[in-house]
Structures are given as structure tokens and as C-alpha cells.
Structure 1
Amino acid sequence: MERHFDLYEHQAQYYETDQMGIIHHSNYIRWFEEARTNLLDQMGFGYAKMEESGVIVPVLAINCIYKSMVRYNDRVYIIPKIEEFNGIRLTISYRIVDKATGELRTTGESKHCFLNKENRPFSLKKEQPKLYDLFDSYLKVDLSIPK
């Protein structure tokens, strides 16, 4: 089944810049979260719905590799992709691409696990099979940038 996503677009804000006039490195992690939240919403199971279902998805690890600078007022696409999913753990990769030039600005990855209301790891496959099937169906779906 073909999956369609609207790409997440962000316009770099002045308050996100540092003294050198480029986006401060800490903001990229926030941008990853914005794009991840948008992806989950588009999948039909955003954080609010997950938490209502008793599922918590904390960040276990995150990394970011800066390729080129983003400056104030630049527009970028932040493109998340579910890379690994086994029902207990989840890995999402990110690409930040300049909207005007298509230049790759940043790459990154976040690792997560699934916890229940008692903050204990659990298997979606066993306890939330519909949610497991949803995530599994989006595994490796690649978003493309409009030409």
C-alpha cells in the first residue's frame, strides 16, 4: 500500500540563531521532534492519542550531524523516516534539506522505546497489536522532496 505524507516544512526563526547568524545547534533536536510529532499525527496516532492509550515513547538517544548551515528565514524540509521497529524499540532518521536548493543541511537519528503507564517497557505486538501493525506498515516508507 502506498503511503502519502505531507512534508514537514520549517522556516528558520530569528530567535533560533546564534551570535554568528546561523541556527544554533540545539534547535535541530527540537526540529527533529517537530517533524516526528507531525509524522505520528499523519500516521493517525500522535502523542496525545498514544498517551490516551497508555503508551509513552521516550527518547533513549539522539544524534545530529551538521552538513551545512541554516540561516535566519531559510525554509527547510525536515524529513523523518522510521528505520527500525520491532514493537519494543523504534529508530527514526531525519534529513533536513533546504527547500530552495535541495541541499542536505543536517542528518540525525533518534532512538525510542515503548513504555506503559507504569513506565515499564512492553511489546506493542502483544499488548497493542493495532498500533504495532500501524508502525510496521510505515517501516522504511521514504518521503521524497517535491521537484
Structure 2
Amino acid sequence: MTEQPRPLRTEVTMVTSFQDADPMGVVYHGNYFRFFEEARRILMEKIDYSYHAMMASGYMWPIIDTRVKYVKPIPYNHAIRISATLTEWENRLRVDYVIYDAKTEQRMTKAHTMQVAVGIEDQEMCFVSPKVFTDKVEAWHAGNA
């Protein structure tokens, strides 16, 4: 039986801001994507595939699908921990997220996003992730086995 590689994962802790909240003092549902984005940015930088590196490689990665389960409302001025895990990368990029209360560790939100590579020059969607990206993921796994 082949051992599964350790997942590519990162965490970031943030404190929600007043501008994140709706009039009732809880984070507006659309603002959760800003938290996911920050965790995904750090995750991609872990494999040296920042937004600048994406552009330089000739690809952009638009989100094509997402799912969010809002488990518990998050108030403003509240410390949260966002985990992001790369769960698919060969044909598309899928990142799974969990937002936890930073103090109690209670799960507050669960989500995922899916992205595909699109050539910057030809605007064509790729049905397989570009080698420049998969090589970076595989190199990370090889160095972290």
C-alpha cells in the first residue's frame, strides 16, 4: 500500500475588522472570501507560486466553483484561524478551508474553492493543470515527505 503524501496545508490567524461586519455586528457572509483568499495566498507562496509567479508562468486561476457552510456567526473584533489545504491539483486547484475560533478551537465555517488554469494570452481553459504548477506541488511533497 502506497503512503499518501502529507497534505500541503497552511494556517493564518486574523482578527475580524469592524468593516467586515453587517449592522448586527457579525461578519457579512461575502467577506468570508477575503479570509479564504488570504489563506490561499499564503498556501501558494509556500510552493513559490505567488500571484506574480502565476502571471509570469502565463496562467491565471479564476475560481469556477465554491461552497461555504456557515456553521457559527463570527463577530467583529474576533480572532479566527483559517486553515487552507490543497486537496486537488492535477486537473484543477481545489483548496479546502476551515475557520476556527482562535481561542476555543470551535469550528465556525467550512468551505472549498475550485480554480482552473486559463492561459493569459489565449484565454483558453486548461483541462490539465500546467506542468509549471504541478512541478511545484510535487517538489513540495518530495521535500516534505
Q: Same fold (TM over 0.5)?
A: yes
The alignment yields a C-alpha RMSD, in angstroms, of 2.2
Contact 2:7–2:87 (Cα < 8 Å) also in 1: no
Partner of 1:85: 89
Aligned residues: 135
Alignment of 1:123-134 (within 5 A): 123-124=128-129, 128-134=130-136
Q: Does residue 103 of structure 1 match 2:112?
A: no
Q: CA 1:6–1:80 in 2, change beyond 3 Å: closer, same or farther?
A: closer
Q: Deviations over 1:93-145 (max 9, x none)?
A: 10001111101000001011011121112334xxx534212224568xxxxxx
Q: Does residue 9 of structure 1 match 2:7?
A: no
Q: Does residue 50 of structure 1 match 2:54?
A: yes
Alignment of 1:30-49 (within 5 A): 30-49=34-53
| Structure 2 spans left out of the alignment, 5+ residues | none
State the TM-score, normalizing by the size of structure 1. 0.81
SS at match of 2:118: coil
Distance 1:34 1:111 in 2: 15
Contact 2:60–2:117 (Cα < 8 Å) also in 1: yes
- Percent identity between the aligned chains? 23
Partner of 2:115: 112
Partner of 1:145: none
**2:73 is matched by which residue type in structure 1?**
M
Contact 1:82–1:138 (Cα < 8 Å) also in 2: no
Contact 1:56–1:119 (Cα < 8 Å) also in 2: no
The Cα of 1:52 is off from its aligned counterpart by 1.2
Contact 1:85–1:136 (Cα < 8 Å) also in 2: no
